[in-house]
Amino acid sequence: MAQREADLIQAESLITRSEEVFKTMINLAAEGDTRAKKVVPVDQPIVQATPISIDEAFKTALEKRPDLKIAQKNIENKELGVAVARNQTLPALDLTLSYWSPGISGDRLIYAGDNVFAGVVVGTVPGSPSNAVRDAFKLLYNNWNVGVTLTVPMSAFLTRSDLGYARADLAQSQVQLKAQEQQAALEVSDAVRTIEANAKRADAYRLASELAQKSLDAELKKFAVGLSTNYFVLDFQEKLANARSAELKAKIDFVLSVERLEKSMGVGLEKRGFKIIG
């Protein structure tokens, strides 16, 4: 009896500790003093063994895992960096074409015989800023400019070294992505195998609990007719309690293994209705 009381005290302490941890995780402290509130589970762990394809799970992980998405985006940026560095090593040929029509303001001088070089002014034609604006919109004075510019990079050593560094950086990122994908594949396969094993464990412990219950029922019938003692009845009760505890733990392990699979696939938040916008 003393041993049972010690076990009971320890179990109650673990329950209180688990409640405090759970309250801290969901930040119940923000709602005031929660020490007097009890955490009461409203459901039980359920084992639903469904066939899981490792290939499909890994394919989902490649599409959903945030760390793989970040690595893929990083590679895209590195590829763009390689393209820019490669362009820096090439000559550039630029073609420019421009057209404009200015307006002319002020008085226009009229020379004798239209000979500007003679210098003989025979009259003037008055002009104003408004006339200049009018001439500009009428496109009276057409001006064209066509140019071709060839730029050859002189620092070939520096530009080629930048290109080599960009290529090496890209190759390193690609290797890191492959390593992350291999790690994701390992996590997914381990999670799937763990789910299958825990489902079988839960089923086996369920059968063990049923057998322990039947054994206890049989012992109680023997005790009722005087063919057994309290010692044997208590022994079978302890075996039943241990079997049910093992069955419950196996169910919890199954639920946790499902959660680990969802985490390794990157769909945990999505299945619970959370969406990351960005």
| CA pair distance 46, 86, nearest whole angstrom | 58
Among 20-29, 128-137, 151-160, 218-227, where is mean pLDDT lowest? 151-160
**Using the 8-state DSSP alphabet, how is residue 143 labeled?**
E
Q: What angle do CA 95, 96, 99 make, to 5 degrees?
A: 150
pLDDT digits 0-9 by tens, 42-64? 888 888 878 888 889 999 998 88
Bigger pLDDT: 114 or 95?
95
Q: Inform me whether the pLDDT recorded for 147 exceeds 80.
A: yes
**CA 135, chain centre distance (Å):** 62
3-state secondary structure of 94: strand
Residue at 227: amino acid letter: L
b/e 199-225 (16+ beta carbons within 10 angstroms → b): bebbeebbebbeebeeebeebeeeeee
Bigger pLDDT: 271 or 2?
2
Question: 105 with 128: CB under 8 angstroms?
Answer: yes
| CA pair distance 199, 254, nearest whole angstrom | 6
Q: Inform me whether the pLDDT recorded for 31 exceeds 80.
A: no
Q: Which of 169, 170, 171, 162 is CA-nearest to residue 89?
A: 162
Which pLDDT band holds residue 171 (cuts at 50, 70, 90)?
Answer: very high
| CA pair distance 200, 93, nearest whole angstrom | 71
pTM of the entire predicted model = 0.65
Q: Which residue has the tokens 């400019």?
A: 145
Q: Which of 263, 261, 267 is CA-nearest to residue 50?
A: 261
Listed by start position, the domains of the chain span 47-85+156-270, 92-151
pLDDT at 247: 94
CATH 1.20.1600.10 fits 47-85+156-270, yes or no: yes
Q: Is 188 exposed, middle or buried (0-12, 13-18, 19+ CB in 10 A)?
A: buried
3-state secondary structure of 127: coil
Q: Which residue has the tokens 């500009």?
A: 136
